[in-house]
Structure 1
Amino acid sequence: MLFPSLAALLALTGLSNAATLQSTRRATTSIPLYAYGSTANTNGLPVFYADGLAYIGQTGLDSTNGTQTNITFTLDRSSTTTPWTITANSTTVTFNETLDLYIVPTSGSFTQVGFSTNTSLPTGAVTTGFGWYGKSVAYATNSSEYELSFWASNTTTTGVYGLYWNANTAVGNDNPTGAFPVAIKSTPPTAV
């Protein structure tokens, strides 16, 4: 009779340890993000930083003399109240301060997504509320309402798009010509 009770005790201990490991696993992660759109050649383009703004594309902007770099987002998958910060994926670029992802969700706006410190945000910008709707990045306006309003807009560099948040609510809104919706995901593109 000692063996069945010992086996049961070991099984319970194993379950207890698994539950402890599961509950202590950190929700914070560092990941790159990618844009997926309906326009040709926009599936799986990485989100990158250029002079405080978000862009998507395989190459940098031709027309900037400022700072450009691929980035990694540090985020808490279990919270929409924690800002998503960025880190440069470069040995030659470092940020001297903590930069948070922001959008401007003001009704009627079509504003480029950017990165800033909390002390220098544009009017109406928010750095919290980001979460996941399935595998796509979403903005939680409240605990039960998520918006997926990321758009891409042409730049002067072929294959590079500005990443925008579209808070236009009226039908027939005034989005720039050629702008199109994109999903932002942590899923890297697959090789063809």
Structure 2
Amino acid sequence: MKSSIFSSVLAFAACALATPATVQPLLKRNPTGSFSLVAYSLASDYIDIFYSDGIAYAGDSSKWPYGSITTDVTFVITDTEMITTATTSGVTLDSDTLLYIRPTDDEVLPVGFTGNGITVPSDAVTTNFIFYGTYLMWEYGSGSLSDSFRAKETNVTGVYELYFDFSNLYPSGYETPVVKSQS
């Protein structure tokens, strides 16, 4: 009896080893329709990501006294671009306003927005954003994913400037928020 059980187990193991494993492609779980982006771990609850003069901030936009254009925003993801729309009454952003990061080695650089007459840095990237569940990720050309967002509190309590840490430097003085979609 022991011999037949052992033989069955060996036969099953041989079949399992002989069958090639199939690698499934990453399933993109992008939100549908309009959504907000929020940052977790900067406060006791999530805080909204907002637009001010082409830079991304997290916090209460009504407390931000700077910038000629400051607005709460929503996003729609098309292909892998994050199209941005103003939601504050009386504020309009250009229809081609996109979220960007700057994936530059060994630097922690601000997250920003294109459009509206803003000069966009030459290393800014507006594509390859995807969601893993509700988590915002950026996909490298190799297929690896990164969610290396950082935040630094401004001189306004509870308002943070949003950054991207391409090389995972984890510099002192920066928080490590989780950026997610919120319907």
TM superposition score normalised by structure 1: 0.71
Root-mean-square deviation (CA, aligned residues, Å) is 2.5
**Residue 84 in structure 1 maps to residue 61 in structure 2:** no
How far has the Cα of 1:65 moved from its partner?
4.3
Show the counterpart of 1:183. Answer: 178
Within the candidate set 34, 41, 48, 2:38 is matched to: 34
Name the CA distance, whole Å, in 1 between partners of 2:176 and 2:91.
Answer: 30
Show the counterpart of 2:70. Answer: 68
Is the CA contact (8 Å cut-off) linking 1:105 and 1:125 kept in structure 2? yes
Paired residues, what number?
A: 153
What amino acid maps onto 2:110 in structure 1?
Q
How far has the Cα of 1:116 moved from its partner?
0.5
Name the CA distance, whole Å, in 2 between partners of 1:96 and 1:135.
Answer: 26
Name the CA distance, whole Å, in 2 between partners of 1:166 and 1:130.
Answer: 15
How far has the Cα of 1:61 moved from its partner?
5.0
Show the counterpart of 1:101. Answer: 99
What amino acid maps onto 2:51 in structure 1?
Y
Larger-gyration structure (1/2): 2
Name the CA distance, whole Å, in 2 between partners of 1:42 and 1:92.
Answer: 30
Large movers: runs of 4+ above 4 Å:
none
Name the CA distance, whole Å, in 2 between partners of 1:120 and 1:100.
Answer: 13
Aligned to 1:30, the other structure's residue is in SS state coil
Distance of aligned partners of 1:137 and 1:65 in 2 relative to their CA distance in 1, 3 Å threshold: closer
Show the counterpart of 1:23. Answer: none
Distance of aligned partners of 1:31 and 1:42 in 2 relative to their CA distance in 1, 3 Å threshold: same
Distance of aligned partners of 1:133 and 1:155 in 2 relative to their CA distance in 1, 3 Å threshold: same
Is the CA contact (8 Å cut-off) linking 1:35 and 1:42 kept in structure 2? no
Is the CA contact (8 Å cut-off) linking 1:102 and 1:116 kept in structure 2? yes
Unmatched segments (≥5 aa) in structure 2: 1-30
Distance of aligned partners of 1:45 and 1:169 in 2 relative to their CA distance in 1, 3 Å threshold: closer
Distance of aligned partners of 1:150 and 1:33 in 2 relative to their CA distance in 1, 3 Å threshold: same
What amino acid maps onto 1:148 in structure 2?
D
How far has the Cα of 1:104 moved from its partner?
0.2
Show the counterpart of 1:115. Answer: 113
TM superposition score normalised by structure 2: 0.74
Unmatched segments (≥5 aa) in structure 1: 1-26
Is the CA contact (8 Å cut-off) linking 1:63 and 1:156 kept in structure 2? no
Name the CA distance, whole Å, in 2 between partners of 1:90 and 1:114.
Answer: 18
Distance of aligned partners of 1:183 and 1:65 in 2 relative to their CA distance in 1, 3 Å threshold: closer
State the identity as a percent.
33
